[in-house]
Structure 1
């Protein structure tokens, strides 16, 4: 498990087995920490996918989405919601029917948590997951198309509250922002597009 104020670096996709194991441990510990906590407010888990055509081309990602879905409730007789997940997938704009169709087709089982987001968050090559007050993951998808067409993901996982809050603020500024008059970044639930 991650210690407070400790970052764990990783190479490869977040959803790769050895990288996801760190997140799985945090998610599995949530019901216990939730029961001990006096604050029972429902948290937000946000995941912004990068604008990388090679991202998510693995069944492992769907398993990760499923784990996030399963871990949002405590395992009691009367389950309590710990967090609400929102997964933001990149779209060029609201009329990008091909990309919308592809995302819906790829992630049918997670459709209640999928949102369209205008691509370009931090240049499009950054993937971020934040569970407020708990952990953050930042993954840079480094690309050198002239020498290697596939991006190389490198990043870190942190439980440092100050860093989590900074990352969350940057994320929320983008999600809630707009790129021009009347062109919001957050396009809403993918199923409604």
Structure 2
């Protein structure tokens, strides 16, 4: 257990980057063809007549003269007054020593597209991202404004590394190419590059270092990541959570809090060591949000199992927490897609409704923020709802007639976790499940009947 590690949240960061088109010329050395090379090697030792050249090469004088004429045209060989053929100043430079093989220097043009992140200007060997489902870091204004000049300098310093790592593929040549002249370095577009943070705790629920950032090798990027997470994690919501656990007593989630603190080690222990008394009543302890890799797999399998048993599964309700870290992962998108593709036994779509907290119907800030984590083809599943439900700290997924998942998004200001710490339970208790379904149905009622839902979120806000 000493090496045990478990993810406690699922967060991606979006690294500010730019795509550049880099134009440059480079020199390369390549051997002339075999006959030309042999003639030049002979003349490097000593000037010769056409007769002697032909004799050395086993050719007749006519064949030798044809080759020599082409070398004269290329200004690589000349016939001097002594009647002998000599190398020119140009071809003499092809040799490093008297007995070396001649290498012809060429100047070739090349244009290549590269992506550089804007914190430390490391090139990124991956495709740019769609700029959604993540916490976006902000580049310094000086880096963004002077990026073309910085990349011009950085590219020249990294040239051989780019070649060795096959980031740049040049024309196949012998020898090592070198930059002859830098052309234009043009910023093509702004983009982001995604990195999934490995937010893990050990067996004692102590947070572990984010290892994925080491691959970028940028202290500034690490600082910006920790800064962005720190700014987003605000306050302590444990008292509010405890005040809203009425009605959820059977899940026994209050046992993981004491003296205003979250007992994460206890929750972690129970999640990996299920207690018989708990497993017997259908409960399962989750660590992480509903869309995390392990949790989403459990939830999706439970839904499919219910359908396979001919249970009348028709509706799925999902209440999002008012948590800045929620939905900031590509797995959020993957989970929604998977839920949307589930079919009933009659091959009809399940009715999926996800409720997102917002201040009121005119809360365009929330709409625009949610637009950054919800793809257009998924917007039909999302509805606005008045914020403040359960103080915004609960994530609920309720499958009508089947089960409910209750996840608390805990903020403990005295703990060292970089984000909120989601944990919760799944229950098959019909009274609890039906009670939550009734709540969702009540929230959906018209305003004059006490409803607090604002209807489909993006229907009235198609323009950003």
TM (normalized to structure 2)? Answer: 0.36
Query: 2:401, 2:434 within 8 Å by CA — same for their partners in 1?
Result: yes
Q: CA RMSD in A?
A: 2.6
Query: 2:442, 2:450 within 8 Å by CA — same for their partners in 1?
Result: no
Q: Deviations over 1:119-167 (max 9, x none)?
A: 1111110110101111110011111346667211110012222221233
Identify which of 331, 334, 341 aligns with 1:63. Answer: 334
SS of 1:99's partner is: helix
| Superposition pairs of residues 31-46 of structure 1, within 5 angstroms | 31-34=307-310, 37=311, 43-46=314-317
Q: Deviations over 1:50-91 (max 9, x none)?
A: 0111111111011111111011444xxxx5326311011111
Distance in 2 separating the partners of 1:121 and 1:51: 9
Distance in 2 separating the partners of 1:96 and 1:85: 23
Detail structure 1 runs of 4+ shifted over 4 Å in the superposition.
145-149, 181-184
Partner of 1:27: 303
Partner of 1:140: 408
Q: Deviations over 1:158-184 (max 9, x none)?
A: 222222123333444445486xx7985
Q: Say whether 1:81 aligns with 2:357.
A: no
Query: 1:137, 1:156 within 8 Å by CA — same for their partners in 2?
Result: yes
Distance in 2 separating the partners of 1:154 and 1:175: 27
Shift of residue 104, structure 1, vs aligned partner: 2.6
Identify which of 418, 432, 454 aligns with 1:187. Answer: 454
Partner of 1:51: 322
SS of 1:166's partner is: helix
Shift of residue 12, structure 1, vs aligned partner: 1.2
Identify which of 273, 284, 291 aligns with 1:15. Answer: 291
SS of 1:137's partner is: strand
Partner of 1:106: 373
Query: 1:72, 1:85 within 8 Å by CA — same for their partners in 2?
Result: no
Distance 1:89 1:53, change over 3 A: same
Distance in 2 separating the partners of 1:96 and 1:12: 28
Distance 1:146 1:92, change over 3 A: farther
The range that moved more, 146-155 or 88-97, is: 146-155
Distance in 2 separating the partners of 1:141 and 1:165: 23
Distance 1:177 1:121, change over 3 A: farther
Q: Say whether 1:161 aligns with 2:398.
A: no
SS of 2:420's partner is: strand
Partner of 1:119: 387
Structure exhibiting the larger radius of gyration computed from Cα positions: 2
SS of 1:13's partner is: coil
Shift of residue 92, structure 1, vs aligned partner: 1.5
Query: 1:10, 1:156 within 8 Å by CA — same for their partners in 2?
Result: yes
Distance 1:160 1:183, change over 3 A: closer
Q: Say whether 1:152 aligns with 2:421.
A: yes
Gaps of 5+ in 1: none
Gaps of 5+ in 2: 1-278
Shift of residue 98, structure 1, vs aligned partner: 1.9
Shift of residue 32, structure 1, vs aligned partner: 1.7
TM (normalized to structure 1)? Answer: 0.81
Higher share in strand: 1
